[in-house]
Structure 1
Amino acid sequence: MTKTENIIERGQQTVMNTYGRFPYVFEKGDGVYLYDKEGKKYLDFVAGIAVNSLGYGNPRLLRRLQEQMERCMHTSNLYWIEAQVALAERLTEKSCFDKVFFCNSGAEAVESSLKLARKYGDLTSNGERYEIITMENSFHGRTFGSITATGQQKYQKGLGPLLPGIRYAKYNDFDSVLEQVHDHTCAILLEPVQGEGGLIPATSEFMQKIRALCDERDMLMMVDEVQTGIGRCGTLFAHEQFGIEPDVCALAKGLGGGFPIGAMLAKDKAAAAFHPGDHASTFGGNPMASTAGLAVLEEIEAQNLTENARTVGAYLHSQAETLAAKYPAHIKGVRGLGLMQGIVLNNPDELLTIRLEAGKRGLLIISAGHDVLRMVPPLIIETKHIDEAMSILDEAFAALG
């Protein structure tokens, strides 16, 4: 029995069966590569599901975390935390937002946004406005609030009854949104690029019309940037590319570079709805997580990784389109933004086969929606790595016949 097989067997006996795991156990990472227990090298186009923005072994991130760990790991939010204040300052300086609430994950950031929207609606209407519009095909997390906000029934199966007060509209269809808006609506929540839904970007027209509608009706426009934020799409926040300023933004994933952190950013008019006792998080914005967030933002700026996401992301898109032209029987097209790209398959049944064939050849890749190969590599990726990945995918598609 190999080391990997031993760990898998032990895990099957003790770890709850909530994931369809692939048969890999990784020992270490370096740059954009992972190495398994047997020493095999893999080019990582998953990045911990768009989390490891700086790849593996970034010196600044490791040094700062080590230094902070030696000083203090946790004090709680009963006291002021210097690194948390510094991270909040950095995030607000680089965005259109005024205040930050820190938590531990993307689902918690979305949950915080839903609660803030309800509080805002209550305070501005004497309790008459409480409903939130989200989009069909969206994904917002696994807590009861965020899973209700998620517009995909496959994630909600067996969990009913879901929470009341969520209505669903069609993504990129403004008329559909208008049909759902009424006197009880307090907010609209959407992703600039639908991630789990299949890497579908919003149109600028749709985002701008949503912004205008929210202004007209005094509703909060809330964006879920858990996956799209922190440089992933070629700007620090993806919504910047649509010419709008949201009222609330949920962040997580890439903000910690691998260390768990979530954040909800809000403009003052929305943030003012929260008062002491309205919301909290024991571990949110702790010294370790805040230090990680600061190191990530500093490194993104020092290495100009947003520009890298734009240029290398464009190269990834073009090379994937070349692959699509070579295999039209298997590939329908390519879509995405920055370093969040997807290859859309004609036959969804081939998704698993391609992922396994790529894995055999040393490339880690995941899916999105029911028919998309998702590519979300570390933001430090270079064109030579794109060429390596496309060569492997070429072999994987060729293996389909």
Structure 2
Amino acid sequence: MSHIVNSYNRLKIPIIRGEGMYLFDQGGKKYLDFAAGIATTSLGHCHPYIVEKLKEQLDSLWHCSNLLTIPQQALLAERLVSLTFADKIFFYSSGLEATEAAIKFIRRYFYIKGRKKRNRIITIEGGFHGRSIAAISAGGNERSREGFAPLLSGFDKVPKNNIQALEEKISDETAAVFLEPIQSEGGVYSLDVEYLQQVRQVTKDQGIILCFDEVQCGYGRIGSLFHYQNIGIEPDILTCAKAMGNGFPIAACLTKDYIAEAITPGTHGSTYGGNPLAMTVGNAVLDIMLKEGFFTHVQKVSKYLRKKLLYLAEKFSKKVLEVRGEGLLIGIELKSPIADKIVDQCCSKGLMLTKILNNRVIRVTPPLIVKNEHIDIACDILYDSIASNF
């Protein structure tokens, strides 16, 4: 009998070790990991450089209050500012915390400006921003929201890729538009670039904030540090997490100066956010990702993966509805809700994947260090599993 709250449909596999692209169970069986901790261990398991840096910091300092200056935090913030649109960074331990921060930053900004009625935030149907009450009020599917009423007011949902619906929803109470450029939990749907360009223009014209949630699609997964850089559309706020620490809990809210000025001492905080261990790991991850050729590799291997998966869709056209997504964030939508059976069968054959969207979508999110030969192995297992389940 487990003493753990039953909030996950766990595979009954005791994983005890990871190395590079692989996980290992107690019996020594290895699994090619194309889940990557849900797009998190993007540099593979136990990357030796990150392990080395973390061990060095373990012997020095684990934690100190944010009331003190943390040099590793200042360094990571400086680096991220130099690499992005942002002027200021606030660090956390989870993407959910970054979501909460973005909501608070947005509302606090308009409060300071004397426009207290501007507190509503427009979100996009199918979006997912975490599992707190605020996050499921802003997004999430029906299952994540069921039984948690009353949800928070202040959020207005509109259909994806429909600029007219968004414009019609804007009022003198609207403070921001908060969206995922690629809706991962919602089925791996990329919002149209033309639509995002229109949203950016509308928010500028209306004097409201545009916030991108790149918790899952950011940090290299689409072939550059952040996806907004791929599409050339700068937000005012951006949330990120997951791959920032390659599995170590790190997250951040990136923002422009004019918004950050509203956050003054006592208005916001985090006990663990920006701690020395996390910041050391965050800097180590950036060291690796910023090496020459890293993002070029992601772009090349992404094309190879897409080619293989499109072949799968063509071969099983009566079984596979669509392959969609960008970079190394791909969804395979099936015509029948049997993604769990295929994922389980792949696992039995040594391949880790995840399922989403009412059991119809298989999500493929390998570490960014994946090579063509890993993709070949994974696709062979996936082909066999799909073939035997229809």
The DSSP-based 3-state class of the residue aligned with 1:302 is coil
Q: After superposition, what is the alpha-carbon deviation per residue over 1:42-91, rounded to whole angstroms, capped at 9, x for unaligned?
A: 00001011110110121110010000110000011010100000000111
| Counterpart Cα distance in 2 of 1:302 and 1:400 | 42
The DSSP-based 3-state class of the residue aligned with 1:298 is helix
Counterpart residue number, 2:69: 80
How many pairs align? Answer: 389
Q: Aligned letter for 1:292?
A: V
Counterpart residue number, 1:362: 350
| Counterpart Cα distance in 1 of 2:178 and 2:106 | 10
Out of 298, 304, 309, the residue aligned to residue 315 of structure 1 is: 304
| Counterpart Cα distance in 2 of 1:151 and 1:26 | 29
Which of structure 1's runs of 4+ aligned residues deviate more than 6 A?
none
Contact 2:216 2:241 in 1 (8 A): yes
Distance apart, 1:123 and its partner CA: 2.3
1:292 aligns with 2:281: yes
Q: 1:170 to 1:244 in 2, by over 3 A?
A: same
1:238 aligns with 2:227: yes
Q: Aligned letter for 1:197?
A: G
1:116 aligns with 2:96: no
| Counterpart Cα distance in 2 of 1:87 and 1:292 | 10
Counterpart residue number, 2:137: 148
Unaligned runs of 5+ in 2: none
Counterpart residue number, 2:362: 373
Out of 63, 77, 84, the residue aligned to residue 95 of structure 1 is: 84
Contact 1:50 1:253 in 2 (8 A): yes
Distance apart, 1:125 and its partner CA: 4.2
Distance apart, 1:172 and its partner CA: 1.2
Distance apart, 1:200 and its partner CA: 0.5
Q: Aligned letter for 2:343?
A: R
Percentage of pairs with the same residue: 40
The DSSP-based 3-state class of the residue aligned with 2:24 is strand
| Counterpart Cα distance in 2 of 1:386 and 1:151 | 31
| Counterpart Cα distance in 1 of 2:287 and 2:371 | 20
Contact 2:223 2:327 in 1 (8 A): yes
Counterpart residue number, 1:3: none
Distance apart, 1:303 and its partner CA: 6.0
Q: Aligned letter for 1:360?
A: S
Distance apart, 1:141 and its partner CA: 0.3
Q: CA RMSD in A?
A: 1.1
Contact 1:151 1:168 in 2 (8 A): no
Out of 266, 271, 276, the residue aligned to residue 260 of structure 2 is: 271
| Counterpart Cα distance in 1 of 2:96 and 2:8 | 17
| Counterpart Cα distance in 2 of 1:56 and 1:235 | 21
Counterpart residue number, 1:4: none
The DSSP-based 3-state class of the residue aligned with 1:133 is strand
The DSSP-based 3-state class of the residue aligned with 1:102 is strand
Alignment of 1:1-400 (within 5 A): 9=1, 12=2, 14-302=3-291, 304-348=293-337, 350-370=338-358, 371-400=360-389
Q: Aligned letter for 1:330?
A: K
Q: Aligned letter for 2:219?
A: I
| Counterpart Cα distance in 2 of 1:38 and 1:252 | 32
| Counterpart Cα distance in 1 of 2:331 and 2:308 | 12
Distance apart, 1:306 and its partner CA: 2.0
Q: After superposition, what is the alpha-carbon deviation per residue over 1:222-261, rounded to whole angstroms, capped at 9, x for unaligned?
A: 0000001110111110111222110000010000011001
| Counterpart Cα distance in 2 of 1:278 and 1:149 | 22
Contact 1:120 1:186 in 2 (8 A): no
| Counterpart Cα distance in 2 of 1:366 and 1:176 | 32
The DSSP-based 3-state class of the residue aligned with 2:59 is helix
Distance apart, 1:145 and its partner CA: 1.2
| Counterpart Cα distance in 2 of 1:341 and 1:308 | 17
Distance apart, 1:124 and its partner CA: 2.8
The DSSP-based 3-state class of the residue aligned with 1:321 is helix
Q: Aligned letter for 1:367?
A: K
Q: After superposition, what is the alpha-carbon deviation per residue over 1:30-51, rounded to whole angstroms, capped at 9, x for unaligned?
A: 1101111111110000101111
| Counterpart Cα distance in 2 of 1:176 and 1:291 | 44
| Counterpart Cα distance in 2 of 1:232 and 1:92 | 19
Is 149-158 or 248-257 further displaced after alignment? 149-158
The DSSP-based 3-state class of the residue aligned with 1:71 is coil
The TM-score with structure 1 as length reference comes to: 0.95
Distance apart, 1:151 and its partner CA: 4.4
Contact 1:315 1:383 in 2 (8 A): yes
